Structure 1
């Protein structure tokens, strides 16, 4: 055995024992003995990768490939490193090179598929995952990745079957159980849902990661359980060395007192999206004399009317979707961002890693995800007293800051619907009492559906008007209807249509029935703006209290109930007492312009006051506090 090989073997053993600095020294001594000994360079790269020194790892893999171009393992790890650096095109090219050298590498095929998915080339991603499965029929990870690609294509039934196949092969896969529940809810397939939920609760209580907490919001109303799910998810996703309970203070240069406060809004959704339809008015009304606002776009840009409107509101509108975490962090710090606001949270394609390493002295979780991020590197969560009462603070990792009315902003520029539509256009009759719920179908669960059935049984001329998300969800909801002996023509589906017409369509309904525990959020604002009363159940979790927050802000607390039984009785009473419903609608129309919910200027001012208080606390104390 040569001296170079001896030192390399020592490096491998030191790494195995966790002595990383000594291992790096051993690899360097190996290369001192033989500078072109590529196995030592390759293994040094692996250790640097393990230590998250991706730039160093990449340099090692590239040098390895220079010395030995036909080394598929080095190409594979080069692709993986580029992926972690968010450099998707060169990552894909590296995996293509792996497959040119070894077409039967099933792991390279599915990793390639994951990258294609990140590039939104989902059909090509499916082909790549299928190739991995063809090579290794019991490859559970490929089936899981295939399920994710089907999900992105909204082929939920196929995603459900692929995920079940993954679980049947390996029941210990990371977080399939939460995804399985979510897929069942997306297609309204509720068989075995209670058993699966019981299993998930046990896993969460045992600090196991069951997947994104977002997947559980429509079926879990326990803020303690959702908090633990968020902590496990972020710990799993970030895989960082940051201590969970430490407030990560990174040294920043002192901000000149007279300089405008710089707010960085970070989101994957700067286009026609629910979050932006709420926030766009705030962006436009920010006080330019006190604030500079910057947009950081974390996903491939979407060229639509909302995107164009948003571009006009920011000092800088910066596309960083293909930048590494380190590049985004460096950019944010170089721009002197004082407050970084995460408008994505625990939803699709989030970049929590950049917040874990500190983008700004103050970091805020707001609006994009209805709950805690479960990580202490978010200093604040913006809420209101209805959403998170004082006794619930214990279930949130962030410091809670209150807006004085509802936490939810609205767009001051949207128009009032003119009500030119007719019921006949949408398959409705004038003699029917139309209960509607235009929430996404995944928010419908067996419990709330049973309440709807009871309401319809008590209101003979009542029909239920739902949004049609997918053909599978429609078919399953029709099946559930039939199982309760309710005539099929009392369940009517609405297609997705442009936003202006959609809001106008609300005026054809008589009463909005909210879902529980995941309430209507933007959908609730739309209904109230259109003059349609909404009844809700106020639960314990953030997501189950949003509609109550909105109804309180518009001064209609009588539409808030505290149980399914109360909810059912109120719906039946309003449907059978025309005078009472008419009075509620009259108050709603009057309150629309006299209460805080749709006062965009007021909520912008209140939000700015919060930002100023956060900044003042940081300047005076350093550590965040409840405001």
Structure 2
């Protein structure tokens, strides 16, 4: 009967979860005391996204006292969004086995996702104490520390992490602008999803069937950026499908996106293989992934090759390194022709900027006063509304030099956490700046945020990861952005946006040039350029036509 169990394990590893379930169940009938098999049955249900069923069987496996049972319970409770139960399960897993680094990692990420950054840092540090030298844990801790603007060990951490052969390509592109190394890391990560496609493809009809794959078609940057494109597609030439997963928010963004699709499918409960089968059954001609290696991606769906043409677009500023993605959409600033060798995908070049802009929101902005948002009545307002993990000690030092050189100026920064605010205040004092000259802004819904953003004089971009949606937001609010262009896609996005806004004079190439330009505008605000709302970056219809023309040429 052990043969049945071993066959079940083999099928589990091959992704044939239904057959695994049959074999494990047969084994249990003859070996009812083999409670550890309930764990394997639970894993099968996890793979199928049947989280309630997974919990049912994993509860039966708890009698084994195995750490992996509690770890899998944590995954199942996460899938059900039962956060407290997931926290308890992960905690029990590393209490049983202090060397279970995955339990520390998952709990840290879970706490971070729900805004508990301080607790996440504490858990990850504890995990490293019990798993010294685990650089994967260190990479996640480093990202959490960057969110908190805690830079004490950053230099030594990065010295270790940038040598790591399996560093997450997403974290790598945040840490440094090295596209050659990022390609190697992306290829290694994508190789994990290698599948053998068994699909045959239908002949393309008169209309091209597009499929968009994302969990961000809601009140999220992806949803904010792409909704205008979805609404502008030419339905005489294209049939547009959406495939979504994750949480829903019933926001105007989600409603607009849903209304723009001819068909939208929730694949939240579908396994990756089942989702791929659905996409193939829908006869999608071109499948467009909006996630890449970013958090929550489902690249494995694309690894099954459900569509004859598969494209990486918008959500991930780098190569996926995946043999199953044929193209990446870019422009000649984000991927200069000389850098195409750093991408495994063929490059589809759009004429202006690779990013779409939904310009509807500009008409919803209201006038607000400085007093209403806690700004002083006088003085230049330098703004940075990027996530705090994008702020590096090098760029922050430049910002403090700018404040020193422009009397009465302040830095208006988006607040991510109390810990980040406290650390930035301490760093300001170290740089000889009164901490009260950094004013934190709470998160607001999009139109209210852009309305207050109009009060800024100049936006200061981050490096090596630029603002993406944030840079476009500033321009929509009429605020010029100063950027520093780097070597990889993520450090060239703002330059692409500014070029498409006819503002190339705001693109700098050294930190010294960046500082001088900001100081000059701060001292002479009358010389600030005006935002031309007729520039290509704001023309969603022209953008859509350019993209559609490129898609029709693919075969």
1:109-162 Cα distance to aligned partner (Å, 9 max, x none): 121112222332222211111222333345433222221221222212221221
> What does residue 201 of structure 2 align with?
253
Q: Distance in 2 between matches of 1:397 and 1:134?
A: 43
Q: Within the alignment, does 1:596 sit opposite 2:536 as a pair?
A: yes
2-side partners of 1:105 and 1:174: how far apart?
Answer: 25
Aligned to 2:4: 41
Q: Report how many aligned residue pairs link the two structures.
A: 555
Match for 2:24 among 38, 54, 61?
61
Structure 1 CA distance for aligned equivalents of residues 351 and 170 of structure 2: 26
Question: In the TM superposition, what is the alpha-carbon distance from 1:417 to its structure 2 partner?
Answer: 5.5
CA distance in 1, matches of 2:22, 2:135: 30
| Partners of 2:365 and 2:450 within 8 A in 1 | no
* Mapping for residues 146-545 of structure 1, pairs under 5 Å: 146-171=107-132, 173=134, 175-203=136-164, 208-211=165-168, 213-236=169-192, 238=193, 240=194, 252-256=200-204, 258-416=205-363, 418-545=365-492
Task: Tell me the distance in 2 between the aligned counterparts of 1:563 and 1:544.
Answer: 13
Listed one character per residue, the Cα deviations across residues 35-90 of structure 1 (whole Å, up to 9, x for unaligned) are xxx32211111122233332322221122233334321211111112222333222
Query: Match for residue 29 of structure 1?
Result: none
> Is the CA contact (8 Å cut-off) linking 2:105 and 2:140 kept in structure 1?
no
Greater Cα offset, 419-428 or 569-578: 419-428
Match of 2:92? 131
Please tell me whether the aligned partners of residues 212 and 290 of structure 2 are also in contact (alpha carbons under 8 angstroms). Answer: yes
- 1:202-226 alpha-carbon deviations (Å, 9 max, x no partner): 12xxxx2123x22233321111122
Mapped to 1, the partners of 2:450 and 2:461 lie a distance apart of: 16
Alpha-carbon distance in structure 2 between the residues aligned to 1:298 and 1:92: 21
- Distance in 2 between residues matched to 1:535 and 1:484, nearest whole Å: 21
Q: Secondary structure at the match of 1:415?
A: helix
Q: Distance in 1 between matches of 2:54 and 2:365?
A: 52
* Residues 219 and 445 in structure 1, CA contact (< 8 A), matched pair in contact too: no
Match of 2:13 in 1: 50
What is the aligned partner in structure 1 of residue 106 from structure 2?
Answer: 145
Distance 1:428 1:520 in 2: 23
* Preserved contact between residue 177 and residue 210 of structure 1 (Cα < 8 Å): no
> Is contact 2:390–2:463 with CA below 8 Å preserved after alignment?
yes
For 1:288 and 1:330, how far apart are their aligned partners in 2? 25
Q: Is the 8 A contact 1:141 1:166 kept in 2?
A: no
CA contact (8 A) 2:195 2:304 kept: no
Q: Shift of residue 173 of structure 1?
A: 4.3
Give the whole-Å Cα distance in 2 for the aligned partners of 1:132 and 1:327.
30
Alpha-carbon distance between aligned partners in 1 of 2:286 and 2:415, rounded to the nearest angstrom: 39
Q: Output one character per residue of 1:434-475: Cα deviation in whole Å (capped at 9) or x when no partner.
A: 100001111101111011011111112111000001111111
Normalised to the residue count of structure 2, the TM-score between the two structures is 0.96
Does the residue aligned with 1:218 lie in a helix, a strand or coil?
Answer: helix
User: Could you state the TM-score of these two structures normalised by the residue count of structure 1?
Assistant: 0.86
**Residue 312 of structure 1: SS of its match in structure 2?**
helix
Q: Secondary structure at the match of 1:146?
A: helix
**Structure 1 residues 323 and 241, CA gap change in structure 2 (3 angstroms):** closer
The residue aligned with 2:495 is 548
Q: Distance in 2 between the 1:412 and 1:466 partners? A: 24
Q: Contact 1:106 / 1:133 at 8 angstroms: preserved in 2?
A: yes
CA distance in 2, matches of 1:141, 1:315: 40
Take 1:382 and 1:411, find their aligned partners in 2: how far apart are those partners?
Answer: 18
Q: In structure 1, how many angstroms separate the alpha carbons of the residues matched to 2:20 and 2:325?
A: 29
- In 1, distance between residues paired with 2:296 and 2:400? 36
Asked if 1:606 corresponds to 2:541, the answer is no
**1:222 & 1:405 partners in 2: Cα distance?**
24
2: CA distance between counterparts of 1:174 and 1:57? Answer: 34
Alignment partners' CA distance in 2, 1:209 and 1:143:
18
Deviation at 1:308, TM superposition (A): 1.8
Distance in 1 (alpha carbons) for counterparts of 2:191 and 2:137: 16
Query: RMSD of the alignment, in Å?
Result: 1.7
Structure 2 unmatched runs, 5+:
none
Cα deviation 1:483-506 (Å, max 9, x = unaligned): 112112111000111211100111
User: 1:247-296 deviations in whole A, cap 9, x for unaligned?
Assistant: x7x6533414x421000100011211111111111111111111000010
Does the 8 Å contact 2:482/2:518 carry over to 1?
yes
Q: Would the aligned equivalents of 2:162 and 2:172 in 1 still touch at CA under 8 Å? A: no
**Structure 1: gaps of 5 or more residues:** 1-37, 243-247, 619-627
The alpha-carbon distance between structure 1 residues 130 and 164, as it changes in their structure 2 partners (threshold 3 A), is same
Contact kept? 2:223, 2:254, Cα under 8 Å: no
For 2:18 and 2:34, locate their aligned partners in 1 and report how far apart those are by CA, in whole Å: 20
Question: Post-superposition shift, 1:418?
Answer: 4.8
